[in-house]
Amino acid sequence: MLSRRYELKYLITAAQRERFLSAAKSGLQEDPHGRSAVYRVSSQYYDSANLSAYWEKLDGEAVRKKFRLRYYSTDESDNPRVSAAFMEIKHRIDHTVYKERVRLTDDGANDILSDARALVELDKFVVEKDQSKQSTINAIKRAAQSHGFSAVNVISYLREAWEGLVDRRLRLTFDASCQALAPDAYLDVNANRGRHIIPADMVVMEIKFDHAIPRWMRDIAVAQGPRLQRFSKYAAGTEAIWSDNGKLTRKLIHEA
């Protein structure tokens, strides 16, 4: 079953973040998964040989989807590995988001991150409790078997996450230090070696909810006046990784 969410996205300054959070904080609580509400989010993104997901975003297609492996932990040992990882399909219809995900074993996540071809055997890498999600597993396997399907980049950032005191499905997030790395640099997300995809003094703010935005949150958004913005970390990261001048062309992709 798909999980449906609505997302409103804004690109704002650090000062705007301070004002918005100050106004909304009385109706929110910290996400318990973070330290002082903050944790790192990293994703390895996959696309077709002609980067169809990238061009669908740039062409403004209302209906589109992306495949990614999202992970939340990277240890600092002599043999570093990732953990707490999920394989996801993110469907978008305008501002509505439908997400499918399966939890991966730690060994499975590391195998896929090092070689996307492992996705054709995804069944082997999914934790037992998610083995029943066969429609999601099969959809990912079909995509992985298509010509040229491969890892394109890794996007990593620090997320500050808050949830509603009354409706815990309401979420307010601020993503800072957004960086893009080459797909094989998935273990370097804590090293600050990536290319920044937004200015250092900017953050991506998102308001996420299931049915309707609470009136009090809507009133704050109207009063504060941030401008809704269509911004894709994946698309910006693809440009940063694939192009020296920050602008991809169809010719460049065809020659790559």
The pairs formed by 24-27 with CB atoms below 8 angstroms and a separation of 24 or more are: 24/162, 24/172, 24/217, 24/220, 25/162, 27/164, 27/165, 27/166, 27/214, 27/216, 27/217
pLDDT by residue (tens digit) across 143-199?
999 989 999 999 999 999 999 999 989 999 999 999 999 999 999 999 888 999 999
Which CATH number belongs to the domain containing residue 148 in this structure? Answer: 3.20.100.30
pLDDT at 128: 97
Partnered with residue 159 across adjacent β-strands are: 39, 175
Q: Which are the contacts of 210, defined by CB distance < 8 A and separation ≥ 6? A: 4, 5, 6, 169
pLDDT at 249: 52
Structural domain containing residue 147: 3-255
CA distance 130 to 136: 10
Which residue reads 């797909």 in tokens? Answer: 183
pLDDT at 248: 56
- Other Cβ atoms less than 10 A from the Cβ of 73: the count is 13
pLDDT at 3: 67
For the chain, residues with pLDDT lower than 50 are 245-246, 250-256
The pairs formed by 47-52 with CB atoms below 8 angstroms and a separation of 24 or more are: 47/149, 47/150, 47/152, 47/238, 48/146, 48/147, 48/148, 48/149, 49/147, 49/148, 49/149, 49/150, 50/148, 50/253, 50/254, 51/152, 51/238, 51/248, 51/253
> Which pair of tokens denotes residue 220?
């704050």
pLDDT at 121: 97
The single-letter code of the amino acid at 208 is K
| 172 within 8 A of 205, measured Cβ to Cβ | yes
Which residue reads 């941030």 in tokens? Answer: 226
Domains: count for the chain = 1
